[in-house]
Amino acid sequence: MKIIRKNLLAGAFLLTSLAAADAHAQLESANPRVGSIVSAAPSVLTLNFSEGVEPAFSTVQVTDAAGRRADAGKPRVNGRVVLVPLRPLAPGQYTVRWRVLSVDTHTTEGSFGFEVRP
Amino acid sequence: MIGVGFAALAAARWIHFIAVMLVFGASLFPFYALPAQAHALAGLAHIRGPVRVAALIALVSGVCWAAASLASITGDPASLFDADTLWTFFFDTGFGKIWALRFLLLVAMLLAVLTAGRKLPTRNIASALSAALAALLLVSQAWIGHPAATAAGERTIVVAGYALHVLGAGAWLGGLVPLLLLLRAHSAEKNALEFALRRFSALGMLAIAMILAGGLSNAWARWDSIDGFIASAWGKVLIVKVLGFFGLFILAAVNRFVLMPRLDANGSARMRLVRNVLAEQAGGVLILFAASILGLLPPPA
């Protein structure tokens, strides 16, 4: 698979965003935003995709800098929107790895980071 | 792994399209191409064997398609033998439920074709049932492919366009097979043959209109910019498909407006007609190959 690798300098640290070039359901936006620094720890991560997502076979993992899981439970899916409940986040950098199955049977995956800095 | 999975999906889809369209077009044929009083025509009985084989191949290729789809979703062919994964696929996803329904339709179509016996290539309930089941199988593909992912507001139009497109293509390409058998049957009555050819060309024009209207409505929903369209692999395969369609269109026009009027005058027109129908079949099979790939490539957003 052809991978587009984009290196983004955001704030003080380097973010890596991976997006499959032959994607079907693409990540259009996220909250916290891709590569952003947020002052308040979010309780939910929101991912907006370009196509409807099937909850089955779709996974989202959020990990802290030490690799510990920061997501709490299965993601909820509403059409193109995937909501991931989060544990209380301590200040630090977090990595989101998503792999979703779109309603037209194709899977896509990618990852991005964000930072909590009060 | 991606390469193998892609090839397996494309091959299963290609064979499935050909098999279901053959059952559909051949079962529909007697309803428009036979004179009202004709029970059967010489040559047409030979379609029974190919239709039975096609119904069996449709079931096998359908299972292969679903299996290749599940393996590509999980990334692990071993998941095909995991009961929980299979349950999740068939009952917890939208397209999985459509697959469960399609398996029922495929088994029903095979049973309908096998039990029809000598009734098959004539105008009766057995043929109508085969054609209806094949039609449902063709249209239901909309919910296991790209049309399912279009925006809610456009989806009805895209699915309706998809239905027109596949039913038009199936009636035309599938109908070419019984047509060829009639043309090659030396015992076929000239009047009956001319009747079938006239009716088939009328159906062909309707089919072309359906293919164009359905194809355009689906391409329109994907149309963003000409550059994005041409740059994408999806756009390139679609261009090949459209060129192939125009090739078939020209062959069909030659058949209708050059060869059919000369059918009386000499036997060479009939031979050329046989050759052109064979060429149309080959072209149709190649276009279906392009279609099998098109469904796997991401359309331009």
Radius of gyration over alpha carbons of chain A, in Å? 14
How do residues B39-77 score in pLDDT, each as one tens digit? Answer: 666 678 889 999 999 999 999 999 999 999 999 999 889
Chain B hits for A20, Cβ within 8 Å: none
Residue B124 has pLDDT above 50, yes or no: yes
> How far B299 CA lies from chain A's nearest CA (Å)?
8
Token pair of A76 as six digits: 């909820």
ipTM field: 0.80
Chain B hits for A57, Cβ within 8 Å: 73-74, 88-89, 93
Residue A21 has pLDDT above 50, yes or no: no
What pLDDT sits at residue A8? 28
What pLDDT sits at residue B187? 67
Chain B hits for A104, Cβ within 8 Å: 95, 144-149
In A8-67, the residues whose Cβ lies within 8 Å of chain B are 22-26, 50-52, 54-57
Q: Which residue of B has its CA nearest to A28?
A: B301
How do residues B190-245 score in pLDDT, each as one tens digit? Answer: 788 889 999 999 999 999 999 999 999 888 877 777 788 888 888 999 999 999 99
For the domain A22-116, what is the CATH code? Answer: 2.60.40.1220
Phi, psi of B297 (to 5 degrees): -95, 145
Residue A64: CB atoms within 10 A of its CB come to: 16
In this structure, is the dihedral angle defined by the CA atoms of residues B71, B75, B77 and B79, taken in order, positive or negative?
negative
> How far A20 CA lies from chain B's nearest CA (Å)?
11
Token pair of B278 as six digits: 């064979």
* Average confidence (pLDDT) over B129-150: 94
- Residue B167 pLDDT class (50, 70, 90 cuts): very high
Q: Which residue of B has its CA nearest to A54?
A: B93
Residue of A22, A10, A3 lying closest to A114 (CA atoms) = A10
Chain A hits for B69, Cβ within 8 Å: 105
* Average confidence (pLDDT) over B100-122: 91
Q: Least CB-CB distance to A103: which of B72, B75, B94? A: B94
Residue of B243, B239, B211 lying closest to B297 (CA atoms) = B239
User: Can you give the residue ranges of every domain in chain A?
Assistant: 22-116
What pLDDT sits at residue A5? 31
- Write out A34-83 in H/E/C secondary structure: CCCEECCCCCEEEEEECCCEEEEEEEEEEEECCCCECECCCCEEECCEEE
Q: Cβ separation of A56 and B89 shorter than 8 Å?
A: yes
Residue of A54, A55, A31, A28 lying closest to A110 (CA atoms) = A28
Chain A hits for B89, Cβ within 8 Å: 56-57
Q: Cβ separation of A23 and B148 shorter than 8 Å?
A: no
Please state, in angstroms and as integers, the Cα–Cα distance from residue B260 to each residue in A67, B83, B194, B230, B272, following that order.
Answer: 74, 57, 8, 38, 10
Q: Least CB-CB distance to B148: which of A23, A50, A103? A: A103
> How far B109 CA lies from chain A's nearest CA (Å)?
25
Residue of B293, B44, B3, B84 lying closest to B192 (CA atoms) = B44
- Residue A7 pLDDT class (50, 70, 90 cuts): very low
